[in-house]
Amino acid sequence: MKKVTLNDGNKIPLVGFGTYKCKEQDGIESVKSAISKGYRLIDTAAIYENEEAVGKGIKASGILRDEIFITTKLWRENLGYESTKKELEKSLKRLDLDYIDLYLIHWPANAKNYDNWQKINADSWRAMEELQAEGKIKSIGVSNFFKEHLEALFETANVIPAINQIEFHPGYWQQELTAYCKLKNIVVESWSPLARGKVFGNEVLTEIAKKHRKSVAQVCLRWIIQHNVIIIPKSTSPKRIEENIHLFDFELNPTEMELINRFPKMGFSGELPNIWPDKI
Ligand code: NDP
């Protein structure tokens, strides 16, 4: 599996496995299945309520812990210095691990919901920097941070986030934010790379898929990795889990890339970090 080097020197697989809504037995089985098909990056979060299942799936896979890159996330209701430290311990316990490869602030505190949003994010970040120095987390990053949230964080941060995990798929790929992250040496990771299936009916994607004898899902995923963005598609079907990692025997040409780049807005979740938890 191709890997991407983060700004702290750690390496993360380019293709990983998402686990949102994979709970209990489904979570165990899908993680086991993903690892058996070659995935070495597993993405979970405290709010998914599946860290225990993910931990069990990883153990059941028989693959050594060190060969698997595990991401989990701090939920936005638990931001703050003390709380971040407590939450990390809880995640470690649920996953039954000694360390996390990547810990993310799941959503920033924002101006709409908090008077002192900059301080809340900064305090959480300081706790994460300390946890990283202690070796409990290898890499630290953020998720759903707009430029304004990153700029505020830079005011006090000693460590630049290694990753910003954001919504990124055909029809909504946050081009300016992505360019800004790259400029700051922050790797972009795509959530909902398949737009949860909402772009599958698109005729252009269907045509391109036919031409390459691939599925529309594979075209979406290939388009993202050709932007050097990490993907973590989720599936509970062993067949689709396998399909989503077989992306390296074809390539989209520049015309195809550009066609997809220019899609009008579609498949957007409606979740905006500057107003969340409200939706537009
Ligand atoms: P995805 O874009 O990965 O889409 C998942 C959906 O697509 C499921 O319904 C799945 O169904 C279906 N699917 C998967 N593969 C195929 C395929 N090859 N053909 C047809 N249908 C397919 O959505 P997610 O929202 O789950 O995003 C991926 C991951 O990103 C999450 O699981 C989570 O880990 C992370 N995430 C992070 C967020 C954040 O705020 N940081 C927000 C949202 C997600 P089936 O299971 O039946 O195959």
pTM over 0.95: yes
Q: Which atom of ligand 1 is nearest to the CA of 107?
A: 40
Mean pLDDT of the chain: 97
Quote the pLDDT of residue 280: 60
Specify the ligand 1 atom closest to the Cα of 30: 46
pLDDT confidence tier of residue 94, bands split at 50, 70 and 90: very high
Residue 277 has pLDDT above 90, yes or no: no
The verdict on residue 279 lying in a domain is no
Return the higher-pLDDT residue of 276 and 31. Answer: 31
Rg of the Cα atoms in the chain = 18
Which H or E run contains 33? helix 24-36
Strand ranges inside 36-114, DSSP E: 41-43, 69-74, 100-105
* Predicted local confidence at residue 278, as pLDDT: 77
Atom 30 of ligand 1, residue of closest alpha carbon? 191
In a domain, 270, yes or no: no
- For residue 273, is it within any domain? no
What is the per-residue pLDDT across 126-182, written as a single tens digit (0 to 9) for each?
A: 999 999 999 999 999 999 999 999 999 999 999 999 999 999 999 999 999 999 999
d(CA 218, CA 62) in angstroms, rounded, equals: 28
Supply the DSSP symbol for 92. H
Where residue 30 falls among pLDDT bands split at 50, 70, 90? very high
User: Would residue 278 count as lying in a domain?
Assistant: no
Residue 268 domain flag: no
**pLDDT tens sequence across 107-116:** 999 999 898 9
Q: What is the span of the domain harbouring residue 228?
A: 3-261
Classify 215 in phi/psi space as left (phi over 0), alpha (psi -120 to 50) or beta.
beta
Does residue 194 line the site of ligand 1, with CB under 6 A? yes
Rounded distance from Cα 192 to ligand 1 centre (Å): 5
Read off φ and ψ for residue 279, nearest 5 degrees.
Answer: -115, 160
| CATH number, position 11 | 3.20.20.100
Assigned domain for 275 exists: no
Q: How far is the CA of 120 from the centre of ligand 1 (A)?
A: 29
**Which protein residue's CA is at the shortest distance from atom 4 of ligand 1?**
196
Residue 149 lies in a domain: yes
- Sign of the C-alpha dihedral, residues 14, 178, 45, 127? positive
| d(CA 271, ligand 1 centre) in Å | 15
Return d(Cα 3, Cα 218) in angstroms, integer.
19
Residue 159: the pLDDT is: 98
pLDDT band at 276 (very low <50, low <70, confident <90, very high): confident
| Closest C-alpha to 233, from 17, 22, 20 | 17
Question: Does a structural domain hold residue 234?
Answer: yes
Catalytic residue among 20, 39, 48, 81: 48
Residue 120 and residue 110: Cα distance in Å, rounded?
A: 9
pLDDT score for 172: 98
Closest residue (by CA) to atom 38 of ligand 1? 191
**18 within ligand 1 shell (Cβ under 6 A):** yes
Q: Is 48 a catalytic residue?
A: yes
**Does pLDDT of 226 surpass 70?**
yes
Taking CA atoms only, the protein residue closest to ligand 1 atom 3 is: 233
Q: How many domains does the chain have?
A: 1
Please determine, for residue 60, whether its predicted confidence score (pLDDT) is greater than 70. Answer: yes
Q: How confident is the model at residue 274 (pLDDT cuts 50, 70, 90)?
A: very high
Q: Going by DSSP bridges, is the β-strand pair 41-43/100-105 parallel, antiparallel, or unpaired? A: unpaired
Distance (angstroms) between ligand 1 centre and the Cα of 193 equals: 7
